[in-house]
Structure 1
């Protein structure tokens, strides 16, 4: 698959219409193990948004957090009409929790951010100002990330894969701090696959994407839910949902092994005929195993390609299951009328 590289100034195609920010703003925040942070997060969001937009909503999605955060969210909702909340029946993962929240946004712009105050609410105006220039999506990008070296390397690797798989612009960081138009959210929630990846869906839907530079802060307190194993699961979902590249790598690997074994076989024949040197028996055995193994990889890759395509189309495992809600009208969902199907990348 070809990789498209953009300059930062070329990222996205601007719209001509500029929408007044006073129409309102939705903020969707998956929460997990952040009981000690939620009150401060709510306070800072409220202080910022009260003076920024005419109206807003804060949609917290509890991804089956083991702490007492759901009770705290219910308390906030009882005193603040802007607070809405969804609680899932089990831990479905970050992107599935986002899908649950995005289904109920009702304002023209939607901010997505983490619950740990590494994304400062005070920088939402930067995102809003940029998207009002006409972009569909604006990412908050960081000069320095306040996280472990392993996570930084993982982010870099995912970014490179995204360039290959979904044609992500080279100078754009994929981050969980972003703002998008409601039309994009409406398209995202039409995806019916069991393992959503929000950023992959965004890049399949629009090229009108830009970035603003913001500050990445230390986690306020508590321990986050994005460990190495969950990060690997997200990476696997990304690769297998939006591309059949891993299967094609298996095919190429099989071809490479078989070709190498074939060249080696020819070399052995030449040595035997030209120099009269007899090869030991184990050589032919290893050679036969290598050739057959390569052929099997080719066959498995081809079989997997067909199975993978079928799997993408027919699997309807639920993305999430809602256990409880606060101030959420479950009849008013973005995906209740229209159909949307993500195009399969080939």
Structure 2
């Protein structure tokens, strides 16, 4: 990790994936905001190329040559948004660290409001969208994710876990101590501090193209949260086992009593098959939960890396 540079007030980490055409506009807008606030020499913009299929890395290198505040990191293979952010966290130098997306849906002007919220004494500041521009299915998924985070991680009710946020450098120093391969930044934040606030921002339309997040990636993110920071799913499986055992005992008693009282009852083939399928489905679900935990434990014990850095704009670094 780079040494802390006390002259820098702000480090901005942006995971980049298929955004070659958007990056110049993003850099221009961030620079304008920082210059207007008198911070032109007190910030850095860390662009982490997550091994996308376009020429984003070439664009980052070109921008770094003409803007001294840009530092680029190129990953050898796609690591995912949260692991790419961890790569950036390991190289930040500012006293405040912000995270924002590369699609310009997060207005750079809001960086100032977030910084002021942290200057009031909070450790972390999230953003809350006043007018979300995401598709309906994605908003529904976010609401479900919000409910699960409250249940599993102890997230304060009403706090929206936005990808646009900022935190004190001390929080980042604690977060990067996590060395597991399945990173969930918000879960790590909630593990580190309770001093969290939020500010309202206007959610802008995507500058161009479509979101890189799909249902599969959202499900993968949910699994990271559920299995990396809580054992509640395992407890759920245990409780379900107890409940099924109790239900089975009740059904056995019911069937025996019914047979004695009504010997003429025909054998219940349909109900028997339904019960077998139900119990089999629950057993498969529980085994899957256990397997998910074991698989993640196996990969961590084998020291699977969060990310592999191929090169940087300030030199080469082998991963």
CA distance in 2, matches of 1:193, 1:182: 21
Q: Secondary structure in 2 aligned to 1:257?
A: helix
The count of residues paired between Structure 1 and Structure 2 equals 311
Q: Separation in 2 of the partners of 1:131 and 1:265? A: 61
The unaligned stretches of length 5 or more in structure 1 are 1-20, 332-346
Confirm or deny that 1:182 pairs with 2:169.
yes
Distance 1:259 1:192, change over 3 A: same
2:213 aligned with 1:226: yes
Q: Secondary structure at the match of 1:118?
A: coil
Secondary structure at the residue paired with 1:121? coil
Q: Does 1:239 align with 2:233?
A: no
The separation in 2 between residues aligned to 1:150 and 1:299, in whole angstroms, is: 27
User: Which residue of structure 2 aligns with residue 214 of structure 1?
Assistant: 201
Offset, 1:170: 0.6
Report what 1:8 is aligned to: none
Answering whether residue 18 of structure 2 is matched by residue 49 of structure 1, we say no
Q: Select which of 48, 58, 82 maps to 1:61.
A: 48
Aligned counterpart in structure 1 of residue 74 of structure 2, from 65, 87, 90:
87
- Looking at structure 2, the residues matched to 83 and 170 of structure 1 have their Cα atoms a distance apart, in angstroms, of 36
Between 106-115 and 237-246, report the one with greater CA deviation.
237-246
User: What's the TM-score once normalised by structure 2's chain length?
Assistant: 0.88
* Residue 39 (1) aligns with residue 19 (2): no
Instruction: Check 1:279–1:291 CA distance in 2 against 1; reply closer, same or farther (3 A cut).
Output: farther
Q: Identify the match of residue 198 of structure 1 among 168, 185, 191.
A: 185
- Cα-to-partner distance string for 1:50-69 (whole Å, 9 max, x where unaligned): 23335111000000111111
Matched position secondary structure for 2:109: helix
Q: How does 1:95-106 map to 2 (within 5 A)?
A: 95-106=82-93
The equivalent of 2:307 in structure 1 is 320
Higher relative contact order (CA 8 A, sep 6+): 1
Residue equivalent to 2:3: none
Cα distance, 1:80–1:281 mapped onto 2, change above 3 Å: closer
Runs of 4+ in 1 over 4 A off after TM superposition: 283-313, 328-331
For residues 73 and 235 of structure 2, the distance between their equivalents in structure 1, rounded to whole angstroms, comes to 40
Hey, what's the Cα distance between the residues in 2 that align with 1:215 and 1:88? Answer: 31
1:138 equivalent to 2:125? Answer: yes
| TM-score normalized by the length of structure 1 | 0.82
Match of 2:59 among 60, 72, 81: 72
Asked whether the 8 Å contact 1:262–1:291 carries over to 2, the reply is no
Tell me, what secondary structure is at the counterpart of 1:272? helix
For the residues of structure 2 that align with 1:185 and 1:175, how far apart are their CA atoms?
A: 17
2:14: which partner in 1?
29
* Shift in Å, 1:298: 10
Q: Give, in angstroms, the shift of residue 231 of structure 1.
A: 1.4
Offset at residue 303 of structure 1 (A) = 6.3
Q: Is the 8 A contact 1:36 1:222 kept in 2?
A: no
Q: Which moved further from structure 2: 262-271 or 123-132?
A: 262-271
